[in-house]
Each structure stands twice: as structure tokens, then as C-alpha cells.
Amino acid sequence: MRTAPTILHLDMDAFYAAVEQASKPSLRGKAVIVGGLGPRGVVATASYEARRYGVHSAMPTAQARRLCPNGAYVHPRFTLYRQVSDLVMGLLRELSPLVEPLSLDEAFVDLEAGGRAFDAPGARATGERLRADIAALTGLSGSVGLAGSKMLAKVASEEAKPNGLLLIEPGTERELLAPMPVRTLPGVGPATGEHLRRAGITTVGDLAEAGEDELVRMVGRAHGVGLYRMALGLDDRPVVAERDAKSVSVEDTFDVDLHDRVRIRGEVARLADRCVVRLRASGHSGRTIVLKVRRYDFSTLTRSETLRGPTDDPAVVREAAARLLEGVDTTGGVRLLGVGVTGLADYTQEDLFAQARTEGEAADGTTGAPQEAAGQEGAAAPEEPSGEPERAAARHWPAGSDVRHAVYGAGWVQGSGVGRVTVRFERPGSAPGRVRTFRVDDPELETSDPLPLVGEASSDLSTASPEG
């Protein structure tokens, strides 16, 4: 434990939903739910306006629609979320070289590693300046916790939500933690919380009073010792600057179980391509290809194949995933498919056979890539779409996705169905825009990349729709 509150934890507020509100002016101040939109969809993030109706992350989207029928339900746009995350992480790295990202919207920072001596007022001023810089750069809000340990800094940022800052002075940890529910502590989930409740332990103070021996008896040595130390506010874990990725993967859960073997092969090929896009974006190649199949009865199978060397060649990954699929029985239907790459490296050993095949196919006038089957909305966890925008020929218009019209400019899909797609034409920094409806096969309407929240987004306003 440190004697000064020099570990900072930043947690952006309702990040995905907040980015959607910032990039879509008509959604500001309204209930926004981001996640899978199909019957098996799951909420990834809900805006604070939606949370008032009881909507929260990991909730089935169908349940969210019953609680908040008038909310705006949009498909996630991970390309844009990552762009905004990079801006925020850049601000953190200006404070210290020791930044430990936990996700796109959350990170620890070791302020001491920045070369300055901090007391409580100095740490608080740094945290407030960071929040102001984030708001100025992105228009978003984040909550900051400051403490002498990682655990306490995370507890503090959670208590500060939304859009606040809480500093825990070293020496006050036990007093602050004592009245908090046991679920406040990291690693105390519903099952452990219920087990403790049955024993009459409902607060962190109760944990501390129970003592280490009793907690070890109740939940085992490793967990019991850890719980007791956390109840006392003790945590010596360092901030780790870079946590190397061990794998890269993508998966989709389908609205309706897939039975057609040809369709299943097409989905595996599509997932393999998406996985390679993510693999390359991380700057890695990988040696082991993994296929995940969840069947109609929820049984989950995984198969893997290790190559001669690491690769980021989409043809190689597609072929390996296809071989793995041949050994899987999909009789009865498939609920979820996933493709991953493990054994990551920061270099690539070219597969000469795959390269020769690709060159031969190009000479025949074909691409070698299988035709994509129409995708389904994600469910169990929203996944990042392919780096290439979906072409207009597919005529698939997920709610919230970015489009551009030859006449009206940039906009986003509000909804589609019965051969029509409804688009609102607006962009970051504009006033709420006008809505227009088109045929799904309108040749002047096409998918596009997201407009950034800052920089070129404002300069692009000159091409806005003539009707605003």
C-alpha cells in the first residue's frame, strides 16, 4: 500500500452509448441501448437515460425492449469506439508511461511513474484536469478514482459514477469500505455474495470482523485470504504497462439455429476474415487456429490446428477453420460460431503454398475468398464487424450503422424492414438531422465508415444535406 493516492483508475461513463449519443445529435439526452439487436441479442451498454428504466449490460435485448420500448437500439460500431479509446489512452500516457488498459474504456495509471511527487491535493488536481481534457477532446465524460492501490482506485471510480472523482486518502480505507456491500470487492460475484449472505456477512466490515480463518473455512484458502486482505484495503498489485494479448477471436450468435451446412461453412469463412482483420490491427500473427461451435443443445465444441509457423494470411486461416469444421457434427443446428487465433507473434512466416494458390487464383480472375452469407446480429457479445464496409449489394442495414447517400451525404440507419430503410442525415457537431426513407436497393445509398467525433468530422460539415 502506498502512502499517497498515486494510482488512478479511469472508467468512461456508459462508453459505447455515450459515443453513439455524441456522434448522433438526435440521440443526445435520450435512452440509447447498444448491443445485439436480434431475438438472442444482449445489451452491451445502456445510456444513463435507459438505465432509469432498469436496462443494464448483459441483459437480453428482448427484455430491454419490454422495459424501455421507446429507446434507441443500435448495433455496436467498434471501429469508432477504438478510435475514441485511442484518444483517451493517449491522454493517460501523457500523465505516466505506466498505463494498464483493461478495456477500451477503462485503465489504471501509476502517477508516480510520471516522475512527479504527488500528495493528495496534487493527485486530485491531476484527476480533475484529466476529466476536463477528456471532455474537451471527445465530448465524453469519465469517472476517476484515486487511491494507494488498484483495488481501492477502482472502488473509488465506481463510487464516483457518473462523471465524478473520488479520492481515498491512505489510512481511511477500512472506514470507507466497512459499510459497502461485499459485492463491491473485485471477485465477489453473485454466488460468493449469496454464500456470504447466508452466513450473515453482507458488508465489507462484516468480512473484516469474520477474520481470515473463518473466511478460509467458508470459501477456501486462496479466496478466503484474498477476501480478508481486500476487506482491510490491502492490495500490492503493481500497474502493468503492457499486457500482451494471448489470443484474438471473433464469434457470432445467430437469431435462428443454422442447419444448412453450406451456410455454416460460409459463416466460418466470414468469421475467419474478420478474425484476421482484428489480428492485423493488433500487429500480430498467430500459429494456432481455433474453431468454436455451440450447438442447438448449448453443448460447446472447440477444435484447434497448429500451423508450421505464424500467419496473418486470411486464406490460410479460412482453410484451417474449414478443415476444423469438417470434423464437427452440426446435426441438429448451430447456435454460435467462433474463429480465433492463438500462439501470437509479432512476425509472420509466409505460407508459400497458400501464396502460390492465391497467385494462381488471381490469374484465373477469381479472388479465392468465399462469398459471404448474410450476417446475423450479434447476441452473446457484440463483436467488431469486418474492417471493410459491407457493400451495398448485400442490402443489410443494421440499426445505427453508417451510410452515405449520393445526394444527402452522411447519415445513419434508424431502422429497416419491408423493403425500406430509414436514414437520419446528421453527423457529429451538427444539429439533429432530417429523416428520409429509401428502398433497400437504392443505388445512391451505400454503407460507409464512421465519421470521427473530432477533427475532420467538423470540417466535413460543408458537405451536409441541403435540408440539414
Sequence ranges of the domains in the chain: 1-171, 175-231, 247-363, 392-463
Distance CA 463, CA 178 (A): 57
Fold entry, domain 1-171: Alpha-Beta Plaits (3.30.70)
Find the mean pLDDT for residues 274-282: 85
pLDDT band at 210 (very low <50, low <70, confident <90, very high): very high
Residues in the chain: 468
pLDDT value at residue 205: 94
Find the mean pLDDT for residues 218-237: 88
* Start-to-end CA span in the chain (Å): 56
* Other C-beta atoms lying within 10 Å of the C-beta of residue 175: 12
Lowest mean pLDDT among 107-111, 129-133, 142-146, 297-301: 297-301
Distance CA 72, CA 305 (A): 42
Q: Please give the positions annotated as active site.
A: 106
> How far is residue 338 from each of residues 225, 249, 335, 450, measured CA to CA in Å?
37, 7, 11, 25
pLDDT band at 255 (very low <50, low <70, confident <90, very high): confident
Is the entire prediction scored with pTM above 0.85? no
Phi and psi for 177 in degrees, rounded to 5?
Answer: -75, -30
Tell me the average pLDDT of the chain.
84
pLDDT value at residue 229: 92
DSSP state for residue 259 in the 8-state scheme? -
Q: Which of 254, 286, 12 is nearest to 138 (CA)?
A: 12
Residue 417 or 153, more confident: 153
Rounded to 10°, the helix 261-281/314-326 angle is: 140
Q: Does domain 392-463 have CATH number 2.60.40?
A: no
Distance CA 45, CA 452 (A): 20
Residue 467 or 194, more confident: 194
As assigned by CATH, the class of the 175-231 domain is mainly alpha
pLDDT value at residue 348: 46
113: left (phi over 0), alpha (psi -120 to 50) or beta: alpha
Q: Is the pLDDT of residue 391 over 60?
A: no
Fold entry, domain 247-363: Dna Ligase; domain 1 (3.30.1490)
* Other C-beta atoms lying within 10 Å of the C-beta of residue 431: 10
Q: Which of 145, 127, 45 is nearest to 91 (CA)?
A: 127
Residue 2 or 333, more confident: 333
Distance CA 398, CA 413 (A): 7
Find the mean pLDDT for residues 165-181: 93
Q: Is the peptide bond before 443 cis (omega within 30 degrees of 0)?
A: no
pLDDT band at 453 (very low <50, low <70, confident <90, very high): confident
Distance CA 412, CA 408 (A): 12
